[in-house]
Chains A and B, each alone.
Chain A
Amino acid sequence: MRVAWLAAVVELNHFQAMTLFAFFTSLVFAFLSKPTGRERARYFIKVFLLFLLVGVGLGWLMFPFPR
Chain B
Amino acid sequence: MVEETESPKTVVEEPPRPAAGVLGRSWLYAVLGWLVPGLGHLLLRKFDRAVVFFFSIVTMAGLGLAMGGKLYAPPFSAATGAFLTLLHVLSFLGDLGAGVIYFAAQLASLGGEYMGESLGDYGTVFFLCAGLLNLLIALDAHDIASGKKQ
By a beta-carbon cutoff of 8 Å, the part of chain A in contact with chain B is 1-3, 6-7, 9-12, 14, 17, 20-21, 24-25, 27-28, 31-32, 35
Contacts and interface: CB of A to CB of B under 8 A. Distances in A.
A21 B112 contact: no
Main secondary structure on chain B at its contact with chain A? helix
A7 B68 CA distance: 8
A21 B126 contact: yes
Nearest to A11: B119
Contact of B118 (A6, A10, A14, A24): A14
Contacts of B66: 2-3, 6-7, 9-10
B59 interface: yes
Contact of A20 (B49, B63, B111, B112): B63
Contacts of A6: 62-63, 65-66
Contacts of B118: 14
Interface in B49-88: 49, 52-53, 56-57, 59-60, 62-63, 65-68
18 contacts: A1-B108, A1-B110, A1-B113, A2-B68, A2-B110, A2-B115, A6-B62, A6-B65, A7-B67, A10-B67, A10-B119, A12-B67, A12-B122, A17-B126, A21-B125, A21-B126, A25-B129, A32-B137
B10 interface: no
A24 B130 CA distance: 9
Interface residues of B, number: 32
Nearest to B109: A1
A60 to B, nearest CB: 18
Given A12-B119, A21-B60, A31-B53, 13 more contacts: A1-B111, A1-B112, A2-B65, A2-B110, A6-B63, A11-B119, A14-B122, A24-B56, A24-B60, A28-B133, A28-B136, A31-B48, A32-B136
